[in-house]
A and B are shown apart, each in its own frame.
Chain A
């Protein structure tokens, strides 16, 4: 008995170590992707910063933006970051039902955020202040639209993960994918902090 245990232990340990290595390599690789995505946003922010004053006789930001609306969007995204974190904690303790609950709340908050952004864009275009009016509006729609596109893809990924958790449970592969999505989701909240500061609030300074 004792010898069996002994001979089992190193084997088990090696296996555990190897799989942990594979998982942390994936997460490191995904982090490198997130950082390269960060550079895309840096370039879009730089472009926006350069072009923000070029309104070409069109409206400036403070004529068309509504701060209470942006504050509501910010709350939705911040709250969704927190509910995702709570979902990850439930996932690590292996409880499937609360994970599904937290992630569904996260998905609804994210979808409401995207809905508000689409509504904002549609209203701007309807009022004749679309991306074709000035360099400022082109840069604005590109920057904020790219962020919205990322959130939409995050929602799609979240839907896929809900399906996988429901059908396969919280196994190693699902947990690895969930960790990557968690990085992605929190990263989008970080980008939004820069968006509301440099795109919206700066206009009203």
Chain B
């Protein structure tokens, strides 16, 4: 009886730690975030990384830090208690991707196909 009780308590504590985290997981998340932030600023502020690679590097570091904070601070994951939150988050992520990528793509095309400033309306009409 007592074994089953203590087993139950341990299982509960374990599920609790999974859903809310413990000091160790917060600390790991904090240290990882600190390192990723330092790497992001270092990429841009120091001459080590070539200019062509910088944008890709900071975007990758940003995504990495988002994932670190989502799992260590917000405790998103595949645990049963978090599955619903994670599913909603994935749907939101999809919507964000559509809105952001779609806006940038459409407006970039509009920009490229826009009449150049140097050309007057009359000249553009003759040009066609």
- Chain A residues packing against B (C-beta within 8 Å): 24, 28, 31-32, 35, 38-39, 42-43, 45-47, 49-50, 67, 71, 74-75, 78, 81-82, 85-86, 88-89, 92, 183, 186-187, 189-190, 193-194, 196-198, 201-202, 204-205
Contacts and interface: CB of A to CB of B under 8 A. Distances in A.
A194 to B, nearest CB: 6
Interface in B74-93: 74, 81, 84-85, 88-89, 91-92
15 contacts: A35-B89, A46-B104, A49-B103, A50-B104, A71-B41, A85-B21, A85-B29, A85-B30, A85-B73, A86-B26, A89-B20, A89-B22, A89-B23, A201-B43, A205-B58
B74 A187 contact: yes
Chain B interface SS verdict (over half): helix
Nearest to B56: A205
Contacts of A81: 30, 33, 69, 73
Contacts of A49: 100, 103-104
Contacts of B103: 46-47, 49-50
Interface string B95-106: 110011001100
B20 to A, nearest CB: 6
Contacts of A92: 16, 20
Nearest to B74: A186
Size range of the interface on B? 35 or more
B54 interface: yes
Interface stretch (B3-11, B59-67, B116-124): B59-67
B95 A202 contact: no
Given A71-B41, A186-B73, A32 B62 contact: no
Contacts of B61: 197
Contacts of A32: 88
A202 B65 contact: no
Contacts of B115: none
Contacts of A183: 74
A86 B69 contact: no
Given A74-B37, A89-B20, A201-B44, 13 more contacts: A28-B85, A35-B89, A78-B34, A81-B69, A81-B73, A85-B29, A85-B30, A89-B22, A193-B37, A193-B69, A201-B43, A204-B45, A205-B55
